[in-house]
C-alpha cells in the first residue's frame, strides 16, 4: 500500500494532534514548524508523539519532522495549517515563495484568512494552479499534556470547509474525505468564515468571565460553569448580528446552537442545553489569562472582521463593536488596529454580487 503524503504546518496543540492522528492512520506526515518556533519540535525523540484520547491512540512515529519549508512543500501537495489566525501572515510569508501548481493549502480554522493568503500569493505571481482553502474550526478539541504528548477530547463531525475559488470545492472534498470523515462544503470562504463557532461564543463568554479568568488563572470549567443563561443571551446577541450579515450577503447561516450540534459538540437544543450537555466541552477549563487566542484571535480575526463587513454592507453590529472595544480595554491591546479588515482580505471594493462572483471564480475586477 502506498502511503499518502500530507504536510502539517505548525507545532501547536492541533498541529501535534493532526500529525499524530493521521500518521497512526497510515498517512506519511511531514510536520513542519516555522524556524523561530522550532523549539516545539525539539522534544520529539525520533519524531515520536504520544497521542491519547478519543481518536487514534499510541505513539506516532512522524514520517518527517523539519523546519525546512522548501523541502516540505516540494514533497507534499496537500498542506494543512492548524495555527491561530494571527500566525497566518507569517506562515503565508514562509509558504508563498515555494508555491507551485497542484498545491492545496487548508487553514484550520481560516476565519477568512484564505483570502489574505490568496492575495499574498497573487501579488507574488504564485496563485495560478493553487487552491487555498479553510475550515470553520479545528478538527479536534485537543491540548498538549506534555511537550511530546497530546490528548484529543473530541473529534469534530461534519467539518465544514470551503475552497478559494469555490469552484474547486468538489476537488477539495475529494482530497479531505479520508482525512476528515463527513467533511462538507460551504458555498464559499466567506460563508465558512461566518460559520466559525469560536468567535460567536468566546469573546462574550470570556469578557463576561474576565474577573474569574484572572483570579482563578483559568482553573474552572469554562463551558460548564461560565456559560450561564445570562452569558448565553449575550452570545445569542452576537449571533443575531452574524445571521443578519449572512442574510444581507444572500447566505442561510445556521444559528450557533446548530453549529455546535452539527459539529458533534453536544445534544440538539437551545445553546445552553447544547453547551451544558456536551461531554466534550464541559471537560475543558478556561484560558489561563485574558491574553489568549479566545480574545486575541476571536475578536480581531472574528467578530471585529465581521463587524467591518457589516459596515461595508450596511448591517449594524453594535454588540460585536462593543465587545471589540471592551476586549481592547481589558487586554490593553488595540484590537481594532489588529483587526483583519475587508481591505486585508482584498474584498473592500466589492458589492455583494461582485463579491459572490469573486469568491466563486477567483476572477478579479
Share of the chain above pLDDT 90, in %: 92
Res 2 pLDDT > 60: no
pLDDT in tens, 279-300: 888 888 999 999 999 999 999 9
Query: Phi, psi (5° rounding) for residue 65?
Result: -120, 130
Residues 181-202: what's their mean pLDDT? 97
Q: Would you place residue 1 in the very low, low, confident or very high pLDDT band (cuts 50, 70, 90)?
A: very low
Residues 355-364: what's their mean pLDDT? 95
Find out if CATH 3.30.460.10 is the number for domain 5-190.
Answer: no
Res 171 pLDDT > 50: yes
Find out if CATH 1.10.1040.10 is the number for domain 197-358.
Answer: yes
Domain ranges of the chain: 5-190, 197-358
pLDDT in tens, 101-149: 999 999 999 999 999 999 999 999 999 999 999 999 999 999 999 999 9
Q: Would you place residue 177 in the very low, low, confident or very high pLDDT band (cuts 50, 70, 90)?
A: very high
What is the model's pTM?
A: 0.94
The Cα 109–Cα 194 span in angstroms is: 11
Report yes or no: 301 and 181 within 8 Å, Cβ to Cβ.
no
Res 261 pLDDT > 60: yes
Across the chain, what does the average pLDDT equal?
Answer: 96
pLDDT in tens, 68-97: 999 999 999 999 999 999 999 999 999 999
Q: Count other C-beta atoms under 10 Å from residue 232's C-beta.
A: 23
Report yes or no: 276 and 282 within 8 Å, Cβ to Cβ.
yes
Share of the chain above pLDDT 70, in %: 99
Amino acid at each position: 500500500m502506498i502511503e499518502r503524503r500530507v504536510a502539517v504546518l505548525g507545532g501547536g496543540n492541533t498541529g501535534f494532534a493532526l500529525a499524530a492522528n493521521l500518521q497512526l492512520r497510515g498517512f506519511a506526515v511531514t510536520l513542519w514548524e516555522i524556524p523561530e518556533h522550532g523549539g516545539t519540535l525539539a522534544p520529539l525523540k525520533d519524531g515520536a508523539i504520544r497521542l491519547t484520547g478519543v481518536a487514534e491512540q499510541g505513539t506516532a512515529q512522524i514520517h518527517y519532522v523539519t523546519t525546512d519549508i522548501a523541502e516540505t512543500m516540494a514533497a507534499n501537495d496537500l498542506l494543512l495549517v492548524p495555527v491561530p489566525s494571527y500566525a497566518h501572515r507569517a506562515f503565508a510569508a514562509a509558504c508563498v515563495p515555494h508555491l507551485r501548481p497542484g498545491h492545496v493549502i487548508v487553514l484550520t480554522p481560516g476565519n477568512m484568512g484564505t483570502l489574505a493568503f490568496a492575495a499574498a500569493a497573487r501579488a507574488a505571481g504564485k496563485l495560478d494552479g493553487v487552491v487555498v482553502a479553510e475550515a470553520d474550526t479545528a478538527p479536534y478539541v485537543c491540548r498538549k499534556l506534555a511537550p511530546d504528548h497530546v490528548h484529543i477530547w473530541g473529534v469534530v463531525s461534519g467539518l465544514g470547509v470551503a475552497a478559494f475559488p469555490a469552484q474547486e470545492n468538489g476537488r477539495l472534498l475529494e482530497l479531505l474525505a479520508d482525512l476528515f470523515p463527513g467533511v462538507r462544503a460551504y458555498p464559499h470562504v466567506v460563508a465558512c468564515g461566518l460559520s466559525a463557532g469560536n468567535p460567536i461564543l468566546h469573546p462574550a463568554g470570556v469578557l463576561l468571565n474576565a474577573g474569574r479568568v484572572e483570579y482563578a488563572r483559568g482553573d474552572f470549567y469554562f463551558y460548564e460553569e461560565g456559560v450561564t443563561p445570562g452569558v448565553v443571551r449575550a452570545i445569542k446577541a452576537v449571533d443575531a448580528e452574524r445571521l443578519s450579515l449572512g442574510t444581507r450577503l444572500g447566505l442561510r447561516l445556521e444559528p450557533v446552537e446548530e453549529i455546535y450540534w452539527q459539529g458533534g459538540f453536544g445534544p440538539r437544543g437551545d445553546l445552553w442545553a447544547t453547551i451544558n450537555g456536551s461531554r466534550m466541552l464541559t471537560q475543558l477549563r478556561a484560558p489561563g489569562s485574558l491574553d489568549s487566542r479566545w480574545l486575541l484571535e476571536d475578536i480581531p480575526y472574528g467578530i471585529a472582521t465581521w463587524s467591518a463587513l457589516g459596515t461595508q454592507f450596511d448591517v449594524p453590529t453594535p454588540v460585536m463593536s462593543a465587545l471589540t472595544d471592551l476586549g481592547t480595554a481589558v487586554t490593553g491591546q488595540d484590537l481594532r488596529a489588529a483587526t483583519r479588515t475587508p481591505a486585508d482580505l482584498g474584498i473592500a471594493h466589492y458589492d455583494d454580487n461582485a463579491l459572490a462572483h469573486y469568491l466563486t471564480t477567483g476572477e478579479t475586477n
